[in-house]
Structure 1
Amino acid sequence: MSKRPYVLLSVAMSVDGYIDDTSPDRLLLSNAEDFDRVDEVRAGCDAILIGANTIRRDNPRLLVNSEQRREDRVRRGLPAYPTKVTITSSSLDCTCKFFNTGGDKLVYTTPTALGKVRDELDGLADIIPAGDPVSFPVMLDDLGSRGIRRLMVEGGGMIHTQFLTQGLVDEIHLAVAPFFVGELDAPRFVHPGTFPQDSARRMKVAEVRQIGDIVLVRYLPRNRLTQVS
C-alpha cells in the first residue's frame, strides 16, 4: 500500500469559531498578508481538498496565485498548480471555477453517484468511487498511490470534522481573525463530534505567529506526532 499523504488542515475563523457569516457574500476573515501565506502553503502542497458544499457556496478557483511560486514549482519538476480534490455524494456543477481553472482535478464519490457525476463533469475531472459514504482512509490511500505526498485541506466545516474525528490530520493551521460573527446558523470551523484530542490528550503547539491583525497557531495533533516528528 502506498504511503498516505501528510494532511495539513488550514482554516481561518472568527474569535467565536465561525468560518463565514450568513450573508450571500463570502466573509473575508484573513488579511492580505495572511492570504499570501496561504498561497505559499498551497504552493508547497501536491493537492488541495475542499468539500462539494464549499464549491457550491463560494465557487472558489483554489489556485496558487503567485506567478513566482508557480514557476518555482515547475522548476522542481511539479505541475504549476497542485491537484484539486473534492468529495461528493450528489451532483456537481461543471461550470464552477474549481473545474475550469488550474491543473488536474479528482472527485471522490459513492458508487451510486459515480455515473451521474461522470456525466455532469464530462471529462473535467477523474471520478473515483471510494465507498458509501465516501471513506476518507480509502481516499487517502488512493491519493498516496497517485504520488500525492502533501495534502492541504481547506474545508468546509463538515470536511474538517471528518478528518479530525477520524484522527487523519498531521498538522492544523488555525488563523484567528480579530472579530466575532455571532450568527447561530453561520458555518463553523467544526461540527459536534468525538475528537481524538480532549483535555487529557492535548495537541502540541508548534508555532504562534502574529500576521498583521491575524494570529496564526500551528497545532500538531498528538495522535499523529509519530508521523511528523
Structure 2
Amino acid sequence: MTHQHSQAWPLIRAAARTARDSTVLKNGARYVFDGETLTAAAAGDHPVLAFENGWRSLLPPSDPRQACLDLYLPLAGPRANTPLVLAQLGQSLDGFIATAGGQSHFVTGPTSIVHLHILRALSDCVIVGAGTVAADNPRLTTRLVDGPNPVRVVLDPQLRLPISCGVFSDGQAPTLRVRARNVTLPGARGSADIEDLEIGAPSGKLDLHELVNELWSRGMQTILVEGGGVTVSAFLAAGLVDRMHIVVAPFVIGEGRPGLRVPSAAKLEDCVRPPPRVYALGSDVLFDCDMRSHSQSESGSSVIRRVL
C-alpha cells in the first residue's frame, strides 16, 4: 500500500463501518477519529469528518490524506433505497484490457492494484463474468489492504466454468454462482462452498436488473462490477452503473481484448459525458465518473487532479 493510502485508509474504513451503524451515524453530525473508530464530536473537539447525506472531509487541503478521502469517501456512505453500482476497468492507452491472447496481468501498475483492493474492501460484493474467471482465475480478495473480503458473484449463465476454479474452491470468501434460470445444475458441479442463484435470461442474457435487485434484497448496498469488459459493458448498457472507475495505463497494446463496448449514439452530442474527477495512481491515470450526472461543465469543480 502506498504511503498516502496507508495514512488515509483507517479513516476511510472507519467511515464505511460507521455508515452501517444507525446508532452512531447522525445526519448533520461531525466526527472525531481516534485512529480506529469515529465518534460524534463534542465541544472543543477537532472533527475530521462531517456527515451530511454523505461524508465530507473537514481536513485542510494540505493534509496528505485529503486526496484519498476525496476519492473514496463517496463510496463509504449508506444507501437508502437502492444500491450503489460501481464499475471498474483497467486498460491501455488504446482501450484494451488484455492482449489478443488474453494476458492481463497486469495492464495497470501496482498502485492501481491497491486501488482495486480498496474498492473490493468498500464493497459488499464483487461481480465478474465467466470469461474473466476462465482467463485470470482471480481470487477477488482484499489481501493487499486491511479490510473484509466481499462476496464473490460469478456470472456463469450456462455453467461452463469447472468446479476447480479458485473462486469455487479456495474458501477465502463466500461465493455466489449465478446461472440462467432453467439451466440444470448437475450434481457433480455443486459444492458446499458455493451458493447457486438462478436469474432470468431473456434472449440468452442474464437479466441484470433482476440480479441487482436480488443482491440488494440480500443486504448488498455497494456492488462492484470488476470485469471483464463484456460484463462491465453489459451493466453500463443496462443503465445500472452509478459510478465508473476507468484506469488508463501509459502503454499501447496494439490489438487485444477491448474494454467498454456499448451501443453507439447517432451523434457525438448525444454521447454520455459524465464529468470526471481525475487522479494519478502511480504512472496510471484514473477517471472517476459519476454516471448519473450529465453536466458538461469543465470547471475546476468537475475535474480534480490529485496524486496518490
Q: Which TM-score tier does this pair reach, normalised by the shorter chain?
A: 0.7 to 0.9
Report the Cα distance in structure 1 between the residues aligned to 2:107 and 2:276, rounded to whole angstroms: 22
Give 1:49's aligned residue: 127
CA contact (8 A) 2:97 2:104 kept: no
Among the aligned pairs, what percent are the same residue?
Answer: 25
Instruction: Output the TM-score relative to the length of structure 1.
Output: 0.83
Give the Å deviation of 1:41. 1.4
Q: Is the 8 A contact 1:177 1:214 kept in 2?
A: yes
Assess, with a 3 A threshold, how the Cα gap between structure 1 residues 24 and 110 changes in structure 2: closer, same or farther.
closer
Counterpart in 1 of 2:155?
A: 87
Contact 2:234 / 2:262 at 8 angstroms: preserved in 1? no
Task: Give the whole-Å Cα distance in 1 for the aligned partners of 2:128 and 2:275.
Answer: 25
Which residue identity does 1:58 align to in structure 2? D
Q: Which fold has the larger relative contact order, with Cα–Cα distance below 8 Å and residues 6 or more apart in sequence?
A: 1
Residues of 2 paired with 1:223 and 1:162: CA distance?
19
Report the secondary structure of 1:115's partner residue. coil
Alignment length (residue pairs): 210
**In 2, distance between residues paired with 1:97 and 1:27?**
16
Unaligned runs of 5+ in 1: 71-79
- The CA distance in 1 between the partners of 2:154 and 2:214, in whole Å, is 13
2:234 match: 162
CA distance in 2, matches of 1:113, 1:194: 32
What are structure 2's unaligned runs of at least 5 residues? 1-79, 296-308
Aligned to 2:304: none
Q: From 271, 275, 292, give the equivalent of 1:205.
A: 275
CA RMSD of aligned residues (A): 2.3
Q: Does residue 1:30 correspond to 2:108, yes or no?
A: yes
After superposition, what is the alpha-carbon deviation per residue over 1:152-196, rounded to whole angstroms, capped at 9, x for unaligned?
11111111111111110000001000011111xx2111234257x
Partner of 1:61: 139
Q: Could you tell me which residue of structure 1 aligns to residue 36 of structure 2?
A: none
Q: Which whole-Å CA distance do the structure 1 matches of 2:283 and 2:251 have between them? A: 10
Equivalent in 179, 186, 198 of residue 109 of structure 1? 179
Partner of 2:257: 187
Aligned letter for 2:96?
Answer: Y
Q: Deviations along 1:113-136, whole A, 9 cap, x unmatched?
A: 2423x6413222111111123210
In structure 2, the CA distance between the partners of 1:24 and 1:129, relative to structure 1 (3 Å rule), is closer
Name the CA distance, whole Å, in 1 between partners of 2:126 and 2:180: 20
Q: SS where residue 196 of structure 2 aligns?
A: strand
